[in-house]
């Protein structure tokens, strides 16, 4: 059965003259209150919970540009733009969640979980499994399409992620995770709510080092027009065909050979086939060429009175010289040894809106490679983080 999600949000005007307030009630399909619903601004530490009668109120200190998320276990998660609900009284109706359908063309299996859990944790969480872990990771569901070499991961329950290094507990609603092993690419999307668990000097230091040179840092600079002043260097890049990579005819020849010997044993691989395999495994289809150095911010962003947009053809290379912070005599000081970071961004023709917090919309459409791609959950900071918090 195909999973159908039905969500309802009814907005009743209730304007305030000064305060930035969101208030209302969370109800089920038969108008019964849903207490203890988590209500938060996606990717931040700003949130609240509904009371026994389903009522809630969220008071914002300043105008934010984010999505408001309503999340309750066993109910479908609802997300809506904060600009649509600010200073209004809401009637929020959440629908009961349906479990993931196991009987599909490519089913979710225990075998797939065992085979790919470590890959998922490395690409989604990061490599520090001792200090960053998903407390309820056994609730994850894995399916693997052997023919197309595509992995899909779903989370029927909200993931509770403990990050001891940065002092956060993250409630992460994983909407979807997909990895294409043929293209050597993965992507995921979800909503997140941060709760501070510790705030020692060591944790503040880790947060500062996670922020410096990150994609969050870069996009805040794009919004503020301080890209160059903060030390980022942006170059224009194009992809050019790699002459060493196998041609379409050679790849077709390789596919035909594999089909021919698929059910055979002890087949000697001809030299020409072996050579094609070697080049396919060792070379990339395209090489990167820088066509313009130190391009101005106007080449990849536009703005009007209220909005900033990020758009560009081809690719961008974003370089940054990073000096890690150290804690000396209870003071945060920068190390004198530089570390060069280099990242690549591909927009695929999409235009993104950039918020002052450093968020981009829609985030899942921006392809990033290099050091930006290393900014996984283990280095993820809330959108309301400020350097030194």
Q: 67-124, pLDDT tens digit by residue?
A: 899 999 888 889 888 878 877 888 999 988 875 555 457 788 899 999 999 999 999 9
For residues 270-279, average pLDDT: 88
Beta strand pairing call for 232-241 and 286-292: antiparallel
Could you tell me if 355 and 377 lie in one domain? yes
Half-sphere exposure of 47 (CA within 13 A, CB side): 27
CA 233 – CA 217 distance, rounded (Å): 13
Could you tell me if 247 and 272 lie in one domain? yes
Could you tell me if 292 and 312 lie in one domain? yes
Q: Which helix (H) or strand (E) holds 203?
A: helix 201-211
Relative orientation angle of helices 271-282 and 248-260, to the nearest 10 degrees? 120
Work out the percent of the chain whose per-residue pLDDT is above 90. 57
The answer to whether residue 355 sits within a structural domain is yes
Q: Dihedrals φ, ψ of 65, to 5°?
A: -120, 90
Selection from 242, 261, 354, 244 nearest residue 308 by Cα:
354
The answer to whether residue 125 sits within a structural domain is yes
CB atoms within 10 A of CB 233: 15
Q: Which residues contact 3 (CB under 8 A, 6 or more apart)?
A: 98, 100, 101
Mean pLDDT of the chain: 87
Q: Which domain holds residue 26?
A: 8-93
The answer to whether residue 352 sits within a structural domain is yes
Is the torsion defined by CA of 270, 271, 275, 278 positive or negative?
positive
Could you tell me if 204 and 267 lie in one domain? no
CA 134 – CA 130 distance, rounded (Å): 11
Note the pLDDT of residue 5: 34
Could you tell me if 291 and 381 lie in one domain? yes
Could you tell me if 316 and 339 lie in one domain? yes
Q: 183-210, pLDDT tens digit by residue?
A: 788 888 899 999 999 999 999 999 999 9
The answer to whether residue 275 sits within a structural domain is yes
Helix (H, G, I), strand (E, B) or coil at 271: helix
The answer to whether residue 41 sits within a structural domain is yes
Structural domains in the chain (count) = 4
Asked whether 82 and 67 are in contact (CB, 8 A), the reply is yes
For residues 150-171, average pLDDT: 95
User: Looking at beta carbons, which pairs linking 254-257 to residues 24 or more positions away fall under 8 Å?
Assistant: 254/280
Note the pLDDT of residue 54: 93
The answer to whether residue 368 sits within a structural domain is yes
Note the pLDDT of residue 99: 57
pTM of the predicted protein model: 0.82
Q: Using the 8-state DSSP alphabet, how is residue 105 labeled? A: S
Asked whether 145 and 106 are in contact (CB, 8 A), the reply is yes
Domain boundary among 35, 58, 93: 93
């Amino acid at each position: 059965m195909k999973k159908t999600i039905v969500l309802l949000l009814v907005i009743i005007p209730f304007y305030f003259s000064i305060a930035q307030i969101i208030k209302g009630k969370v109800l089920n399909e038969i108008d019964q209150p849903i207490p203890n619903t988590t209500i938060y601004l996606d990717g931040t530490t700003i949130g609240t919970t509904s009371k026994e009668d389903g009522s809630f109120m969220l008071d914002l200190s300043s105008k934010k540009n984010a999505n408001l998320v309503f999340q309750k276990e066993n109910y479908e998660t609802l997300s809506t733009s904060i600009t649509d609900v600010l200073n209004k009284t809401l009637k929020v109706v959440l629908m009961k969640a349906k479990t993931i359908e196991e009987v599909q063309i490519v089913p979710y299996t225990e075998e797939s979980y065992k085979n790919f859990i470590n890959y998922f944790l490395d690409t989604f969480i990061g490599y520090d499994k001792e200090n960053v872990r998903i407390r309820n990771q056994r609730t994850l569901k894995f399916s693997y399409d052997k023919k197309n070499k595509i992995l899909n991961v779903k989370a029927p329950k909200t993931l509770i992620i403990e990050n001891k290094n940065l002092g956060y507990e993250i409630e992460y609603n994983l909407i979807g995770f997909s990895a294409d092993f043929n293209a050597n690419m993965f992507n995921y999307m979800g909503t997140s709510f941060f709760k501070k668990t510790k705030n020692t000097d060591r944790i503040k230091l880790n947060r500062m080092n996670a922020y410096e040179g990150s994609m969050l840092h870069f996009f805040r600079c794009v919004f503020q027009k301080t890209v160059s002043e903060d030390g980022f260097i942006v170059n224009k890049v194009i992809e050019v065909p790699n002459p060493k990579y196998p041609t379409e005819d050679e790849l077709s020849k390789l596919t035909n050979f594999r089909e021919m010997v698929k059910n055979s044993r002890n087949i000697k691989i001809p030299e020409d086939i072996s050579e094609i395999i070697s080049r396919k495994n060792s070379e990339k289809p395209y090489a990167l060429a820088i066509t313009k150095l130190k391009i101005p911010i106007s080449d990849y962003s536009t703005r009007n009175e209220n909005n900033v947009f990020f758009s560009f053809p081809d690719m961008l290379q974003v370089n940054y010289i990073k000096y890690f912070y150290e804690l000396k005599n209870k003071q945060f000081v920068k190390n004198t040894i530089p570390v060069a970071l280099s990242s690549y961004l591909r927009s695929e023709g999409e235009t993104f809106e950039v918020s002052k917090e450093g968020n981009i919309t829609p985030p899942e459409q921006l392809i990033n490679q290099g050091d930006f791609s290393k900014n996984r959950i283990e280095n993820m900071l809330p959108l309301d983080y400020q350097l030194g918090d």
